[in-house]
């Protein structure tokens, strides 16, 4: 999927941060690609977990960690913990590696 808006990825000393949109209760967890949102563009992920008791957030972090081949502890939700539109920060990855997900 291609987004009409630009996907904003911010670099930090220890990694990167970017926006994601999640769809909980999907048939499987996976990275879909970059999509346009009312807030700009974001990486879309479907999550098999329900949005209950932090299960979808845990699944989001695990799915991104697996896709980027980093430890689960390297992925952190920094904004939007209770929303479908979130900002995540991933330590130990480069800007180019994140762009390959989209």
pLDDT of residue 1: 42
How many domains does the structure of the chain reveal?
1
**Range list of β-strands (E), 38-84:** 40-46, 75-79
In a domain, 44, yes or no: yes
In a domain, 4, yes or no: no
In a domain, 40, yes or no: yes
Helices (H) and strands (E) in the chain, counts: 2, 6
Mean pLDDT by 10 residues, the chain (102 residues): 70 95 97 91 96 96 97 97 96 92 82
Which residues in 84-93 are b (16+ Cβ under 10 Å) and which e? eebbbbbbeb
Q: Whole-angstrom Cα distance, residue 99 to residue 38? A: 20
Global pTM reads: 0.91
* Residue ranges making up the domain that contains 44: 9-99
CATH number of the domain where residue 95 is located:
3.30.1200.10
pLDDT of residue 46: 98
In a domain, 3, yes or no: no
């Amino acid at each position: 999927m291609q987004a009409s808006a630009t996907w904003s990825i911010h670099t930090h000393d220890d990694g990167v941060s970017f926006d994601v949109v999640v769809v909980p209760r999907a048939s499987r967890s996976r990275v879909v690609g970059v999509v346009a949102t009312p807030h700009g563009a974001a990486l879309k992920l479907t999550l098999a977990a329900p949005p209950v008791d932090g299960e979808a957030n845990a699944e989001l972090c695990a799915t991104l960690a697996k896709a980027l081949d980093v430890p689960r502890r390297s992925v952190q939700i920094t904004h939007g913990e209770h929303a479908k539109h979130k900002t995540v920060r991933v330590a130990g990855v480069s800007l180019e590696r994140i762009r390959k997900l989209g």
